[in-house]
Amino acid sequence: MPISQSNQVFNLVKSLSKSEKRNFRLYSGRIQDRNDLMYLKLFDVLDKSSDFEDKLVLKKMGNLSSVQYSNLKRHLYLQILISLRHLHKEKKAYIKIREYIDFAYILYDKGLYIPALKILDKAKKISLRNFTDFSALTIIEIEKMIQSRHITRTNTASIEALVGEAFELGETISSRVKISNLQVLLHRYYIKNGHVRNKKEEENIKSFFNKNIQNFKITRLGMMEKVFFFQSYVWYYYILNDFEKCYDYAFKWVELFEKSEELLRRDVDLYLRGYHYLMTSAFNTQRLREYRIHLEDLERFRHEKYNTFNNNTKITSFFYVHFGRMNLHFLQGSFDLGVDGIKKTLLRMKRYKEYIDQHKAMILNYKIAWMYTGNEMYKKANQHLLNIINDTSFSLREDIQIYARLMHMMLHVDTESYDILNYLIKNYRKYIVSTKDKNIFHELALRFFSELARQPILERKRIYSKYLKEFSNLRKDKYAQRAFLYLDIISWLESKVENQPISKVIKKKMKFAT
């Protein structure tokens, strides 16, 4: 959609920090023609607006035709981007490198070949130091072009070194493209299919991975290729539900960044993502001690570096840290403490609502609902579950949609709303049967709720015990394990059998585990 026909310019203005707004006004102050004064006026109107509506903005701007207004929005959008580029070029290596390349082309066009080569050499050093190999190869190709067309007084050894650099970088980039292709395809497989559900799917993913990973030797890979290499293994074992090995490779992924300041500066978001999978694997393997350590380290890093984060990194760190805090409470059974932190999570979700995708919002709502359920705050849990269940616009993550419905039925058992439960069983069964993600766990859960709803009060404890045994047996099936990671129905059933809060059941289990 064209910028003039959307609210992209409004979102861009709202994303600016105070220093970025100040810089934009200073940058724009040197432009004095009438059209430019109008785009500054539009900037001020949008900056002061809490919501975006074309009619209200046009009213404040005066008499503008629709064409003038569209052009003005487009002009403002581009001018903001140009000012941001100027502001961040000293902080972001890749912006500085591209600027140097532009300068080299300008010098070359003026016939100034030697200065062009000098500035390209500066750009190349920055590029290699920051692992931006694609930019480095572009620079070398420009150097080769200049050397081949003009007499530059460069000796033969330097020319041969240039060719050697190009060959070596070409090999590195070829490896990077192939290994990044592998990790992207594994990620796509997970988004499309989730964890393996049977022997055939397991054999297929193993065959695909082994066929592709054998082309890479870790000792011959550069830093970024190693990151993609470990990331591929993380996805592979994550898909296989092998969280022990997933943990090992996530640890290697994080360790690479912690050993390289340049790598950390280049892509802090990828470092945070590695930490997320390290903690997720620790959570899935019930490593409480390690989980606490990793979360503390991530919290410390976020606190120390937060002022250096861009908006995207702040949002990413919010999701991983708040997600991590909630998982720690689930591991410990400290739902009461977890509930205390939900207010902050909701405030951040509101602040970043324009930037959080539906998938992340769904996950956070699901986690919050479980936290409230564990603390017996059923009304609030219900609100967050309905945020998921009533969202019919989102087709991905059918699994979360299913588990939200199962948790919703658990909630009605907790509140003894059996009249509503009967309706939900009928309604949710239709939904679950219609999905591609249905499995034996879902079938067993539906059978449990149906039997529970039909039986008198005195029979319910027997039914809890019966299905506790059945779910415990199902948990031994490696292809059913992922369901128990999403919905801790075993601890919930144990709380019913023992007539204790679920928090006490989990705390007791973790005490024995540690």
Predicted local confidence at residue 263, as pLDDT: 87
Q: 470 or 90, which is more confident?
A: 470
Question: Where does residue 238 rank: exposed (0-12), middle (13-18), buried (19+ CB within 10 A)?
Answer: buried
Has residue 35 got a pLDDT over 70?
no
CA 176 to chain centre: 21
pLDDT-based confidence at 34, cuts 50/70/90?
very low
Nearest to 158 by CA among 175, 172, 176, 140: 140
CA 198 to chain centre: 27
Predicted local confidence at residue 3, as pLDDT: 47
Q: What is the DSSP letter of 455?
A: S
Distance separating alpha carbons of residues 504 and 334, to the nearest angstrom: 9
Predicted local confidence at residue 4, as pLDDT: 45
Element (H, E) at 303: helix 288-305
Query: pLDDT for 370-380, tens place per residue?
Result: 999 999 999 99
Has residue 155 got a pLDDT over 70?
no
Predicted local confidence at residue 151, as pLDDT: 58
Query: pLDDT for 186-217, tens place per residue?
Result: 988 888 788 888 899 999 999 999 999 988 88
C-alpha dihedral sign at 433, 439, 441, 443: positive
Distance separating alpha carbons of residues 463 and 459, to the nearest angstrom: 6
> How large a percentage of the chain has pLDDT more than 70?
94
Asked if 98 contacts 135 with a C-beta cutoff of 8 angstroms, the reply is yes
Has residue 449 got a pLDDT over 90?
yes
Lowest mean pLDDT among 86-95, 113-122, 242-251: 86-95
Distance separating alpha carbons of residues 468 and 478, to the nearest angstrom: 18
SS (H, E, C) 189-203: HHHHHCCCCCHHHHH
pTM (2 decimals)?
Answer: 0.81
Over residues 319-340, the mean pLDDT reads 96
Distance separating alpha carbons of residues 355 and 336, to the nearest angstrom: 29
267-274, long-range: CB within 8 Å, 24+ apart, which pairs? 268/305, 268/309, 268/313, 269/312, 269/313, 269/316, 270/227, 272/298, 272/313, 272/316, 272/317, 272/320, 273/316, 273/320, 274/227, 274/231, 274/234, 274/250
Question: Where does residue 387 rank: exposed (0-12), middle (13-18), buried (19+ CB within 10 A)?
Answer: middle
How far is the CA of 146 from the CAs of 119, 124, 128, 182, in angstroms? Answer: 13, 15, 20, 36
Predicted local confidence at residue 41, as pLDDT: 86
Q: 41 or 381, which is more confident?
A: 381
DSSP string, 28-63: HTT--SHHHHHHHHHHHHHHH-SS--HHHHHHHH-S
Taking all residues of the chain, what is their mean pLDDT, rounded to a whole number? 88
Q: Which two tokens stand for residue 512?
A: 């024995």
Has residue 160 got a pLDDT over 60?
yes
C-alpha dihedral sign at 348, 351, 353, 354: negative
Asked if 497 contacts 468 with a C-beta cutoff of 8 angstroms, the reply is yes
Has residue 501 got a pLDDT over 90?
yes
Predicted local confidence at residue 170, as pLDDT: 79
Residue owning tokens 């064209």? 2
How far is the CA of 327 from the CAs of 171, 269, 291, 378, 514, in angstroms? Answer: 42, 20, 9, 19, 17
Pick from 50-54, 131-135, 261-265 the range whose average pLDDT is largest: 261-265
Lowest mean pLDDT among 39-43, 234-238, 379-383: 39-43
pLDDT-based confidence at 1, cuts 50/70/90?
very low
Over residues 352-364, the mean pLDDT reads 86
Kindly give, in sequence order, each residue whose CB lies less than 8 Å from that of residue 179, ignoring residues fewer than 6 positions away: 216, 221, 225, 228, 229, 232
Predicted local confidence at residue 395, as pLDDT: 57
Distance separating alpha carbons of residues 124 and 360, to the nearest angstrom: 38
Predicted local confidence at residue 33, as pLDDT: 55
